[in-house]
Amino acid sequence: MFTGEYNHSIDAKGRVIVPSKLREQLGEEFVVTKGLDGCLFAYPKSEWEGIEEKFRGLPSNGETRRFMRFFFAGAATCEVDKQGRILIPPNLREHADLQKDIVSAGVLNRVEIWNRDRWLESSNYDDMDDVAEHMAELGFSF
């Protein structure tokens, strides 16, 4: 399980340090793809393979095909270099608007990579009581 929030920066070449705590779980090679809400999702290889299997079992309708293109076409395998960095391809940097300050956040089965300003906008937790009520309806009580 991935947890934690880590602030760092991306260099001019598109390289970003993967925090050691996250790197331990992601491995030396993992998959990064377009995520929802304007971020990137990073998955360990084993988790990625499970996602691929789930998609193979879905019916082929327009919505499924559209999401599969979004999710898989831009995916890239990233390898950690000797300095603990990965190179994020330009198309993924553009999707997440990664320019300087970024946040890596552990979110259960994945790591999310965010533009820091977007992260701050999306992590406004003023309505968490309402969200918790909805989660309780789904069977999660806190």
**Does the structure show a pLDDT above 80 at 27?**
yes
For the stretch 79-92, pLDDT in tens is 999 999 999 999 99
Query: Is pLDDT above 80 for 97?
Result: yes
CATH code of 93's domain: 3.40.1550.20
Decide if 129 is inside a domain: no
64 in any annotated domain? yes
Number of domains in the chain: 1
Tell me if 97 is assigned to some domain. yes
Helical H segments across 28-127, by residue range = 45-56, 62-73, 90-96, 116-122
In tens, the pLDDT along 55-82 reads 999 998 999 999 999 999 999 999 999 9
Q: Angle of helix 62-73 relative to helix 45-56, nearest 10 degrees?
A: 160
